[in-house]
Amino acid sequence: MTPETQTHYDTYFNLFATEGWKQFVAFAEESKERINQLQEIRDEKHLYGVQGQLLVLDHVINFQTMNENAYQSVLDDEKLESEEEDNYNV
């Protein structure tokens, strides 16, 4: 992993450890619950707007998990490459 990539992930991991991030995600989850009221949908145009809002909120709510999974994937790929290199050099 390049130093720039490591810094990228470290910056996010520092953010995710803060109370502010936890509050932000909790707010997004509460907002999603308020918006996700099917009985409130007036028409097709309103439905599309609500779907867009829910999509954005899902991205916010899952942002930490997506980054953690991506980071782990990079580490796993590097480990696999290293093992393949070691096996090749034997």
Q: Could you tell me the pTM of the whole model?
A: 0.78
Torsion angle defined by CA atoms of residues 64, 69, 75 and 81, in that order, rounded to the nearest 10 degrees: -150
- What's the pLDDT score for residue 39? 81
Number of continuous H segments (helices) and E segments (strands) in the chain: 3, 0
pLDDT, tens only, 26-69: 999 999 999 988 888 889 999 999 999 999 999 999 999 999 99
Rounded Cα distance, 32 and 39, in Å: 15
Question: What are the structural domain ranges in the chain?
Answer: 3-88
